[in-house]
Structure 1
Amino acid sequence: MTGVRWAYALNQWDTNIDAFVRKREHERAFKTVSISGFSAVELTAESFGAWEPLGTPKQIADLYGSLEGFREVLRSCALDGVSSYVYDPFIGFDVEMGRGYDPLEEASIPQITATATWFASALQALGGDVLVVRPVGSAWQTGPLGDDQIAALARCWNEVGRAVQAEGVALALHFDFLSALRLDDGLDRLLTATDPDLVGLALDTAEFAIADIDPVDFYTRHAARVRHVQLKDARAVVDDEEARAPHAEHFVRTEGGARGILRWFFEPTDEGGLVDFVGFAEALAAHGYEGWIVVESDQSPHPAESTMVSGWYVQKVLAPIVEGAAAAVSAGA
């Protein structure tokens, strides 16, 4: 794939296991994404069976007859297909709501690789080419990662990267604001330890900002490793101490922590959030980024409105910066 393409993540519609299960609900979302100016959707891997009909290739085929049948529905809604799948190896798919595998454990590598390949193969049928993965557990679970643990993660993700590359899909590690990689320069150390030809990075602007990492600065320093971009905004920062609160995924991310944060993520705009989107778009343009840019707002109480607002901001503000620079380079060539 060459150039920049814009997609939208469907996770904001899927707020509960029974909230986004019918075809008519899917088609409304697809058409909203399309009329807002996006060309594809990003899916999240889930293991709730029929309650998450877009959560796995099998569930998609069960509801739509086949992966090709699902892509035809997307095309009928004026979308090209699926840009990417987000896969968390800690989620199991052997049984419904099952437990997955820890990338720090050597014995987990074959199963994680097999599952990643399953999703990568599906992405090829659905028009996508990036598998976004959660590379390690949360800070409260592991504490700072030692050199042996970084090496173990590198072995896992190099192997996975090699396997999905054979399917024509790029691997991109997703850093979240509770990740163990936020401690002791873990993310930089893992990027150094992995093969850049096999393992890339998915840069999620809000997750970086909440972890008090400037996404513009980080991208500028690591532009060559970024294979995927997810755009959303944030308005609050979580420090290392709060990130290490017991069961932070539930206490901090879901319940809002001791401060009672009602919503962590917001649409990309220029209205007082932590992320400098214009600066980020300029950095993408300066470094010649090519790939998917996926807009998210996964806690929006009004999914359709958020999608349309995001689409306007992309078309009027961000796309002219990113795509204008690319057009200028092409014209000069």
Structure 2
Amino acid sequence: MSGIRWGYALNQWDTNIDAFVRRRDHERAFKTISISGFSGVELTAVSFGPWEPFGSPDEIAHLYGSLEDLRSFLAECALDAVSSYVYDPSVGFDVEMGRGPDPLDPDAREQIAATAVWFADAVHRLGGDVLVVRPAGSAWQTGALSDEQIGTLAVLWDEVGRRIAEHDVRLALHVDFLSALRLEDGLDRLLAATDPDHVGLALDTAELAVAGIEPVEFFRRHADRVWHIQLKNAHDVVDDAEALTPHAEQFVRTEGGSRRIERWFFEPTDEGGLIDFEAFAQAVADSSYSGWIVVESDQSPRPAESAMVSGWYVQKVLEPIVERRVARV
């Protein structure tokens, strides 16, 4: 075996508060993901209480009884595991819909680490092995990060990486297209400052492409630090000036910015996208990558169709390219 497992992100089903809260809806989604050829599902940390039943380990336990009961439910739907949790420290879990701590605040280190361990323990108990985190805030909030700020982030994420490793979970930093780390080589500087034994990367093909970073070249340059992969397509690029727009999360990401972009992310099969997925699969095949590859299609208007067409593309096109390396070993 190549050590690569294919998962699918649940976020495209959960597009609005209270829209995805019933077990029967979860069962349909899980079985659709399974019959589409995927063996795991990726969850996102959200603090909307019972309106987001997968938003935290506590909410899972409230609906399913325990994390172990959810894993049994996944098995009944022919899924092996929750591959990963995506955690943004700016999301607060002390109160519903609360605001979380700032990674650039040294005094927030313990709170962020404790929350990361909470999610890492859940990932481990659900059969996965990766915690995906947003390592820094948005570009408009901070501008380019100073060396001192990079150092603060490095201390934080080294600490988190060490602590979650005790739960057999790896830490993978996820840079989105609005991240401050897109400015002035911020990501390369943070990678150089962190411990490669405890801090890796979650490479998101579409987020990088929208930020103007070519994902195939980026993967080849940083393959040894990539511990998690998220595959999705994109059509439009956001330059630094647009990323620096005040309140870009709302105005650019949610509302589409001044260009009124209706949808930022698409299925890997979508025509006319920015990403050469076959070239990316070949880059993976040429590397020693071992871990999850999670396909996404954020806010698809037809989530079941998106999962099935993505599953066909993985099985018939991408997986055969990736698996070629097995024959060479």
TM-score when normalising by structure 1:
0.98
> Hey, what's the Cα distance between the residues in 2 that align with 1:140 and 1:70?
39
| Post-superposition offset of 1:270 | 6.1
Question: In structure 2, what is the equivalent of residue 223 of structure 1?
Answer: 223
Letter in 1 for 2:127: G
Question: In structure 2, what is the equivalent of residue 171 of structure 1?
Answer: 171
> Hey, what's the Cα distance between the residues in 2 that align with 1:293 and 1:125?
20
> Hey, what's the Cα distance between the residues in 2 that align with 1:329 and 1:84?
29
**Which segments of 5 or more consecutive residues in structure 2 lack a partner in the other structure?**
none
8 Å CA contact retained: 1:103, 1:156: yes
Question: In structure 1, what is the equivalent of residue 296 of structure 2?
Answer: 296
| Post-superposition offset of 1:22 | 0.3
> Hey, what's the Cα distance between the residues in 1 that align with 2:2 and 2:69?
26
8 Å CA contact retained: 2:9, 2:43: yes
Question: In structure 2, what is the equivalent of residue 284 of structure 1?
Answer: 284
Question: In structure 2, what is the equivalent of residue 305 of structure 1?
Answer: 305
Letter in 1 for 2:69: G
**Paired residues for 1:100-111 under 5 Å:** 100-111=100-111
Deviations 1:126-148 (A, max 9, x none): 00000000000000000000000
Question: In structure 1, what is the equivalent of residue 275 of structure 2?
Answer: 275
> Hey, what's the Cα distance between the residues in 1 that align with 2:19 and 2:48?
12
Letter in 2 for 1:275: I
Letter in 1 for 2:291: G
Do structure 1's residue 17 and structure 2's residue 17 form an aligned pair? yes
> Hey, what's the Cα distance between the residues in 1 that align with 2:189 and 2:168?
26
Question: In structure 2, what is the equivalent of residue 314 of structure 1?
Answer: 314
**Paired residues for 1:135-154 under 5 Å:** 135-154=135-154
Runs (4+) of structure 1 moved beyond 3 Å? none
**Which segments of 5 or more consecutive residues in structure 1 lack a partner in the other structure?**
none
Do structure 1's residue 328 and structure 2's residue 327 form an aligned pair? yes
DSSP-derived class of the 2:259 partner? coil
8 Å CA contact retained: 1:140, 1:247: yes
DSSP-derived class of the 2:84 partner? strand
8 Å CA contact retained: 2:32, 2:308: yes
> Hey, what's the Cα distance between the residues in 2 that align with 1:243 and 1:66?
40
Letter in 2 for 1:105: D
8 Å CA contact retained: 2:2, 2:323: no
Question: In structure 1, what is the equivalent of residue 129 of structure 2?
Answer: 129
> Hey, what's the Cα distance between the residues in 2 that align with 1:261 and 1:299?
13
Question: In structure 2, what is the equivalent of residue 197 of structure 1?
Answer: 197
DSSP-derived class of the 1:41 partner? strand
Letter in 1 for 2:40: A
Identity %: 72
> Hey, what's the Cα distance between the residues in 1 that align with 2:95 and 2:323?
44
Give the length in aligned residue pairs. Answer: 329
8 Å CA contact retained: 1:212, 1:239: yes
Question: In structure 1, what is the equivalent of residue 72 of structure 2?
Answer: 72
Letter in 2 for 1:18: D
Letter in 2 for 1:77: C
| Post-superposition offset of 1:25 | 0.3
Deviations 1:49-100 (A, max 9, x none): 0000011001001100111100000000000010000000000001111110
> Hey, what's the Cα distance between the residues in 2 that align with 1:242 and 1:63?
41
DSSP-derived class of the 1:258 partner? helix
Letter in 1 for 2:327: A
Letter in 2 for 1:328: A
8 Å CA contact retained: 1:270, 1:276: no
| Post-superposition offset of 1:324 | 2.2
> Hey, what's the Cα distance between the residues in 2 that align with 1:312 and 1:92?
37
Deviations 1:151-200 (A, max 9, x none): 00000000000000111000000000000001000000000000000100
| Post-superposition offset of 1:269 | 1.7
Deviations 1:200-253 (A, max 9, x none): 000000000000100000011000000000000000000000000000000000
Question: In structure 2, what is the equivalent of residue 258 of structure 1?
Answer: 258
Question: In structure 2, what is the equivalent of residue 32 of structure 1?
Answer: 32
| Post-superposition offset of 1:289 | 1.2
| Post-superposition offset of 1:329 | 3.3
Do structure 1's residue 236 and structure 2's residue 236 form an aligned pair? yes
Distance verdict in 2 for CA 1:52–1:84, change over 3 Å: same
Letter in 2 for 1:277: F
